[in-house]
C-alpha cells in the first residue's frame, strides 16, 4: 500500500520541512524542557524503517525506541503522515547535490543513477512513499537540481527536460523497487527467492500442462536463455536479475536521451 502525503495545515507542514526555527533552540517559556526533538524523532523513525520496513513503522514503535509512548511524538509532529514527509525529505540529504559533467553528461548520469540506485536500496521504504504530491522539502529540491544540472548539458529544449527526468526517475525507481521488494519479501517471510520459485515453477507444469502452446513467446525466449541469470554475482536470483536489468536498462534509457538530444541540438 502507498502512504500518502500529509494533508494537514500547509503552513505547519512547510515550516517543519524547512525547519524555520533552527532546531534545538532552548525554548524559553514555562513548562518542562523538551526531551526529544523533531530531528531526533525523524532520525529514529528512519533507522527503524531501514531496519524493519515501513509496515513495522508504528508510532508506538518509534516512541518505544525513544523511551516514550506513542502519544509523546504528537508533541513534536502533527501526525504520522507528516512524520513520513519529514523522513522522506530528510533522508534525501544523503544524495550528492553536484555532479561533474566534465567527462560528459552520460558519465555523470550513470553516476547519478547508481547513487540513486544505492540510495533506494539503502532506504527501500522511500519507494513506498507516494510520489503523487511532492513533499516540496529542501533536500528533495536539492536532488532535483542536481539531475537537472546534468540533463541540461544534453542540450535539449527546456520543455523536454521534465519528461526526460520523469523517465530517469521512473526507471531507477522501478528497477530498485524490484530488488528492494524481493529483499523485503524474503526478510518478512523468511523464504528465499529460490525456495519461493522452485515449488511454484514445479506446480506450473502440473497446473498448466499446455504452457508451451499458451505462451509461445515466453517459451521460445526461455529456450534461448533469455531468462538465465549470471550466477557469478552475489545475492539471490531476483537480486542478480535486478542488477542486470538496471545496468542494461540504463544504457537503453541513456540511448533514448541521446537520441532526444540529437533531435533538438543547439
Judged by CB under 7 A, the chain residues 200 through 239 that form the site for DNA are: none
By CB under 7 A, residue 185 contacts DNA: no
Beta strands in the chain (DSSP E): none
Q: How far is the CB of 123 from DNA (least distance, A)?
A: 18
- Of the residues 15, 47, 58, 65, which one makes contact with DNA according to CB under 7 A: 58
Burial of 121 (0-12, 13-18, 19+ CB in 10 A): middle
Contacts of 165 (CB under 8 A, 6+ apart): 144, 147, 148, 151
One of 57, 108, 116, 156 touching DNA (CB under 7 A): 57
162 counts as binding a second copy under rule CB under 8 A: yes
**C-alpha 97: how far from its chain's center?**
17
Residue from 79, 111, 160, 235 binding a second copy (CB under 8 A): 160
Contact positions with a second copy (CB under 8 A) in 80-119: none
| Shortest CB 14 distance to a second copy, Å | 4
Sole binder of a second copy in the list 22, 29, 102, 132 (CB under 8 A): 132
The least CB distance from residue 33 to a second copy, in Å, is: 26
**Gap between the Cα atoms of 32 and 257, Å rounded:** 57
The verdict on 265 binding a second copy (CB under 8 A) reads no
- Cα pseudo-dihedral 122, 124, 126, 128, rounded to 10: 180
Q: What is the CA radius of gyration of the chain?
A: 23
In the complex, least distance from residue 62 CB atom to DNA, rounded to whole angstroms: 8
Amino acid at each position: 500500500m502507498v502512504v500518502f502525503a500529509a494533508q494537514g495545515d500547509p503552513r505547519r507542514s512547510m515550516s517543519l520541512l524547512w525547519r524555520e526555527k533552527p532546531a534545538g533552540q532552548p525554548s524559553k517559556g514555562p513548562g518542562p524542557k523538551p526531551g526529544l526533538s523533531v530531528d531526533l524523532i525523524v532520525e529514529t523513525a528512519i533507522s527503524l524503517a531501514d531496519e524493519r520496513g515501513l509496515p513495522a513503522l508504528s508510532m508506538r514503535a518509534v516512541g518505544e525506541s525513544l523511551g516514550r509512548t506513542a502519544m509523546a511524538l504528537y508533541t513534536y509532529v502533527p501526525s504520522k503522515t507528516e512524520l513520513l514527509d519529514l523522513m522522506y525529505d530528510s533522508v534525501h540529504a544523503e544524495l550528492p547535490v553536484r555532479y561533474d559533467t566534465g567527462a560528459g553528461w552520460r558519465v555523470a548520469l550513470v553516476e547519478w543513477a547508481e547513487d540513486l540506485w544505492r540510495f533506494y536500496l539503502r532506504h527501500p521504504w522511500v519507494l513506498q512513499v507516494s510520489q503523487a504530491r511532492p513533499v516540496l522539502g529542501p533536500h528533495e529540491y536539492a536532488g532535483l537540481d542536481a539531475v537537472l544540472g546534468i540533463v541540461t548539458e544534453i542540450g535539449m529544449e527546456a520543455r523536454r527536460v521534465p519528461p526526460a527526468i520523469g523517465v530517469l526517475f521512473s526507471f531507477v525507481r522501478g528497477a530498485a523497487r524490484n530488488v528492494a521488494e524481493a529483499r523485503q519479501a524474503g526478510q518478512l517471510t523468511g523464504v528465499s527467492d529460490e525456495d519461493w520459485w522452485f515449488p511454484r515453477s514445479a506446480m506450473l507444469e502440473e497446473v498448466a500442462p499446455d504452457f508451451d502452446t499458451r505462451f509461445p513467446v515466453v517459451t521460445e525466449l526461455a529456450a534461448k536463455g533469455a531468462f538465465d541469470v549470471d550466477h557469478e554475482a552475489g545475492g539471490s536470483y531476483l537480486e542478480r536479475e535486478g542488477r542486470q536489468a538496471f545496468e542494461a536498462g540504463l544504457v537503453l534509457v541513456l540511448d533514448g536521451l541521446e537520441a532526444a538530444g540529437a533531435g533538438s541540438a543547439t
